[in-house]
Chain A
Amino acid sequence: MYHYDSYDRALVQARVEQFRDQVSRRLSGALSEEEFLPLRLQNGVYLQRHAYMLRVAIPYGTLASDQLRTLARIADEYDRGYGHFTTRQNIQFNWVELEQVPDILQVLANSDMHAIQTSGNCVRNITTEAFAGVAGDELIDPRPLAEIMRQWSTVNPEFLFLPRKFKIAISSSDSDRAAVRSHDIGLYLYRGESGEMLLKVMVGGGLGRTPILNETVREGLPWQHLLTYVEAVLRVYNRYGRRDNKYKARIKILVKALGVETFAKEVEREWEQIRDGVAELTNEEYDRVARGFAPPAYERIDALDPEYGAWLARDAAFAVWAQNNTQAHKVPGYASVVLSTKPGAAAPPGDVTGEQMRTVADLADKYGFGEIRVAHEQNLVLPDIRKRDLYLLWKALQANNLATPNVGLLSDVISCPGGDYCSLASTRSLPVARAIQQRFDDLDFLHDLGGLSLNISGCVNACGHHHIGNIGILGVDKKGEEFFQITIGGSQGKESAIGKVLGRAFRAEEVPEAIDRLLSVYLNYRELEERFVDTVRRIGLEPFKEGVYRQNDNLNDGQKGDQQSQQNPVKAEVSA
């Protein structure tokens, strides 16, 4: 992975001192809360319902084992013993004291980490997929360009007060696992006919209130122009994006208002002015950064390990886990392992304890090359594990509740922290996640269902990415009561789609039953091994509507009117 040099270290160190001073000026009253707000946001500090939350940047989701130990230390010393991994491959600490944040940032800086621009109306953490550099279906390693963008966007003085937040993702695999199409800028890296690296630039995606997939603005952009092109997009946005209405301020609204062609022309016009300037990337810079991502010293081993094969045959539970929670590696004899942070009702999605973090760090050292990834789905990944070590690794993970074989299945729920923590949330998403995981905890059934993503957001800000879940759940507040709207048919990756609303919203306790009925419809109509989302695409919404909203039925009452539903409280467990 990339290692900080003296410049990187000096910058992060100076930032700690700067924020320490800003915090003390806030505490003394020299800075008003209004003046302090964007400063703390750009250092990752949110004010939540009960406490301050600190979001630490994990650039493109890559951690060294010692960095993970540092996060464990922060969880134990400054928080309540755990952290929450997010869909942007970052980690959040939910119970920190503002006074202690500068000390935490110092601890991070000592491990070459920071919380810069993890929030605020600026360019956020650059993301890519968790299997970057190791995936079997990868075209080019996207991490060097991701790191180059991280550096360029860090404290870029022109773009720290944009109309709204700005998210960039880059991917270079056949199945896009970085959800690039739902980003403000999505980049797809590929090779041209003579092997040169090219970029497809897509602009104007985003979830939130107005879910939109981004559109292609440029194809075949030589990689040397990455920074100038992104700069041109940001400059057009900074100057012409709306600032009068927070909900219309994302770049997607500007792209829609101008039309993608006019927008693209504006960008090209701006880019023509700067394209051949000093910001054009050089081979030397690419090589310098790429050296940090050189492949580790893989052993030359056979693709098939007899011992691994024997354990697969001997231990059915191991075989299920290996089948489900490992990913093809580009090097023979190796696999990438996904550690599920969704053991079911026992822990909220993405929550990992300090103790678990230390264990994972130790396992990364013992069986891997000391590297850990954070996946967009809020799981952890050990990218380089010899197949022959999988069995022992699995045993160790089991002992730490990190081996639930549900990656990519219904109970691998993606969820925001919701109203239990977040002050923006209008509903509590975690209890709904828990109820669903409780209801659907039969692993055989989940495996029969096959690949199915379920995403929950506690409010329209859509941090749980419900729009692109095969099943999406959105919490809405109606006159002080929590309701949950279900969408189906959303997906990420190459076939990205925004889910469609099924119908009236449900009360929290009705959601598991509604999901159960959705699944019944699916199983009735399913052809062979067809995935849920494919069935939805094939047969459309109607059969699902009919199956879920039956006549004269409990679930039908929930929304007739608040008054009525209060008089006829709906029983949760219709058929457990």
Chain B
Amino acid sequence: MNNTLGMIDGVATHLVDDDWVLVDDEQERATGGKAILSLERWKKRVLVEGEETDSCGVLLGPDDELEEVFPWIDRIPLIALQFPSFRDGRAYSQANLLRTRYKFKGDLRAVGDVLRDQLALMRHCGFSSFVVREDKSVADALKGLEGFDLIYAGSAANPEPLFRRRGPGS
């Protein structure tokens, strides 16, 4: 059973059938399923070997510059951003930029130290799926995407800041 949560029609859901697999560079190609690859490997597979892009996603580390994926941004179905620790906030900025500046339309996935209490923040920054750390309960984590979620600033998910949405005299 996987630990992946995602948004379906705006509703947070456990993606039971999720079949994306992280494949690191040393690993042989996984048989079947969908593979999340380093950008180098993705380029080799898709651009050189001509594989269908549908089954190849890209994994970016927190240090990676986003300009590098930009030329293929419309051909990548999924980008996974890493949280080496849940206290490392670089991926929030990366996610926000991928959505707002690079107009990434595919699935933006949080991987690594992904925990319940940060999920709503991640969603604001543009993440659309979340691979919750494997020792944690996915049913419990789901609660992190439910309930009150109002903030003042605009975000990738709600670009208009609250001050532009407040009614007169509110």
Question: Which residues of A are interface residues toward B (Cβ below 8 A)?
Answer: 5-7, 10-11, 14, 17-18, 22, 30-31, 35, 38-39, 121, 148, 151-162, 227, 235, 238-239, 243, 273, 278-279, 281-282, 285, 288
Name, among B87, B94, B150, the residue most crowded by chain A CB atoms within 10 Å (CB to CB). B87
Q: Which of A31, A157, A279 contacts B92 (CB 8 A)?
A: A157
Task: Count CB-based A-B contacts (< 8 Å).
Answer: 102
Q: Is B61 an interface residue (CB 8 A)?
A: no
Instruction: Tell whether A7 pairs with B90 under 8 Å between CB atoms, given A35-B117, A278-B161.
Output: no
Contact with A along B151-170 (1 / 0, CB 8 A): 11111000111111010001
In the complex, chain B residues 37-56 whose Cβ is within 8 Å of any chain A Cβ: none
Contact indicator A157/B154 (Cβ below 8 Å): no
Name, among B88, B89, B92, B101, the residue most crowded by chain A CB atoms within 10 Å (CB to CB). B89
Q: Which of A10, A31, A238 contacts B148 (CB 8 A)?
A: A10
Chain B residues within an 8 Å CB radius of A278: 154, 159-161, 164
Chain B residues within an 8 Å CB radius of A151: 152, 162-163
Instruction: Tell whether A161 pairs with B93 under 8 Å between CB atoms, given A7-B150, A30-B140.
Output: no
Q: Shortest distance in angstroms between B21's beta carbon and chain A's nearest beta carbon?
A: 26
Contact indicator B92/A238 (Cβ below 8 Å): yes
Q: Is B121 an interface residue (CB 8 A)?
A: yes
Contact indicator B96/A243 (Cβ below 8 Å): no
Chain B residues within an 8 Å CB radius of A285: 163-164
In Å, the complex CA distance between A157 and B94 comes to 12
Q: Shortest distance in angstroms between B37's beta carbon and chain A's nearest beta carbon?
A: 23
12 A–B pairs (Cβ distance < 8 Å), ordered by A:
A35-B117, A38-B87, A148-B163, A152-B153, A155-B152, A157-B92, A157-B120, A161-B92, A161-B118, A227-B153, A243-B90, A278-B164
Contact indicator A158/B117 (Cβ below 8 Å): no
In Å, the complex CA distance between A5 and B114 comes to 34
Q: Which of B125, B148, B151 contacts A154 (CB 8 A)?
A: B151
Contact indicator A279/B101 (Cβ below 8 Å): no
In Å, the complex CA distance between A7 and B164 comes to 13
Contact indicator A158/B96 (Cβ below 8 Å): yes
Contact indicator B86/A157 (Cβ below 8 Å): no
Contact indicator B88/A39 (Cβ below 8 Å): no
- The B interface is mostly helix, strand or loop, or mixed, namely loop
Chain A residues within an 8 Å CB radius of B76: none
Q: Is B32 an interface residue (CB 8 A)?
A: no
12 further interface pairs, Cβ-Cβ under 8 Å (given A22-B117, A35-B115) = A7-B152, A14-B148, A121-B89, A157-B155, A158-B92, A158-B93, A160-B92, A161-B86, A161-B87, A161-B88, A162-B89, A238-B92
In Å, the complex CA distance between A237 and B83 comes to 17
Contact indicator B162/A7 (Cβ below 8 Å): yes
Q: Is B147 an interface residue (CB 8 A)?
A: yes
Q: Which of B87, B124, B148, B166 contacts A157 (CB 8 A)?
A: B124
Contact indicator B140/A157 (Cβ below 8 Å): no
Q: Shortest distance in angstroms between A116's beta carbon and chain B's nearest beta carbon?
A: 12
In Å, the complex CA distance between A39 and B115 comes to 12
In Å, the complex CA distance between A238 and B63 comes to 11
Q: Which of A6, A35, A279 contacts B154 (CB 8 A)?
A: A279
Contact indicator B152/A154 (Cβ below 8 Å): yes
In the complex, chain B residues 86-109 whose Cβ is within 8 Å of any chain A Cβ: 86-90, 92-94, 96, 101
Chain B residues within an 8 Å CB radius of A279: 153-154, 161
Instruction: Tell whether A14 pairs with B147 under 8 Å between CB atoms, given A158-B96, A161-B88.
Output: yes
Chain B residues within an 8 Å CB radius of A22: 117
Chain B residues within an 8 Å CB radius of A11: 148, 150-152
Q: Shortest distance in angstroms between A27's beta carbon and chain B's nearest beta carbon?
A: 15
The size bracket of the interface on B is 35 or more
Q: Shortest distance in angstroms between B9's beta carbon and chain A's nearest beta carbon?
A: 22
In Å, the complex CA distance between A155 and B92 comes to 13
Name, among A153, A239, A288, the residue most crowded by chain B CB atoms within 10 Å (CB to CB). A239
> What residue of chain A has the Cβ atom nearest to residue B117's Cβ?
A39
In Å, the complex CA distance between A11 and B166 comes to 14
Contact indicator B89/A160 (Cβ below 8 Å): yes
> What residue of chain B has the Cβ atom nearest to residue A122's Cβ?
B89
Chain A residues within an 8 Å CB radius of B87: 38, 121, 161
Instruction: Tell whether A239 pairs with B152 under 8 Å between CB atoms, given A35-B115, A161-B87.
Output: no
> What residue of chain B has the Cβ atom nearest to residue A14's Cβ?
B148
In Å, the complex CA distance between A157 and B93 comes to 9
> What residue of chain A has the Cβ atom nearest to residue B120's Cβ?
A157
Contact indicator B89/A161 (Cβ below 8 Å): yes
> What residue of chain A has the Cβ atom nearest to residue B96's Cβ?
A158
In Å, the complex CA distance between A39 and B162 comes to 24
In Å, the complex CA distance between A153 and B159 comes to 15
Contact indicator B125/A157 (Cβ below 8 Å): yes
Q: Which of A38, A121, A238 contacts B90 (CB 8 A)?
A: A238
Contact indicator A10/B121 (Cβ below 8 Å): no
In Å, the complex CA distance between A278 and B147 comes to 26
Contact indicator B125/A158 (Cβ below 8 Å): yes
> What residue of chain B has the Cβ atom nearest to residue A243's Cβ?
B88
In Å, the complex CA distance between A148 and B164 comes to 13
Instruction: Tell whether A155 pairs with B163 under 8 Å between CB atoms, given A38-B87, A243-B88.
Output: no
Contact indicator A14/B150 (Cβ below 8 Å): yes
> What residue of chain B has the Cβ atom nearest to residue A286's Cβ?
B163
In Å, the complex CA distance between A64 and B91 comes to 40
Q: Shortest distance in angstroms between A359's beta carbon and chain B's nearest beta carbon?
A: 35
Chain A residues within an 8 Å CB radius of B96: 158
Chain B residues within an 8 Å CB radius of A281: 163
Q: Shortest distance in angstroms between A313's beta carbon and chain B's nearest beta carbon?
A: 51
In Å, the complex CA distance between A7 and B94 comes to 28
In the A-B complex, the 8 residue pairs with the smallest Cβ-Cβ separation, listed nearest first, are: A161-B89, A14-B148, A157-B124, A157-B121, A151-B152, A285-B163, A158-B92, A156-B153
Q: Which of B86, B101, B170 contacts A5 (CB 8 A)?
A: B170
In Å, the complex CA distance between A559 and B143 comes to 58
Q: Shortest distance in angstroms between B121's beta carbon and chain A's nearest beta carbon?
A: 4
Q: Shortest distance in angstroms between B114's beta carbon and chain A's nearest beta carbon?
A: 12
In Å, the complex CA distance between A278 and B160 comes to 6
In Å, the complex CA distance between A238 and B88 comes to 9
In Å, the complex CA distance between A158 and B147 comes to 19
Chain A residues within an 8 Å CB radius of B120: 157
Instruction: Tell whether A156 pairs with B89 under 8 Å between CB atoms, given A30-B140, A35-B115, A278-B161.
Output: no
Chain B residues within an 8 Å CB radius of A162: 89
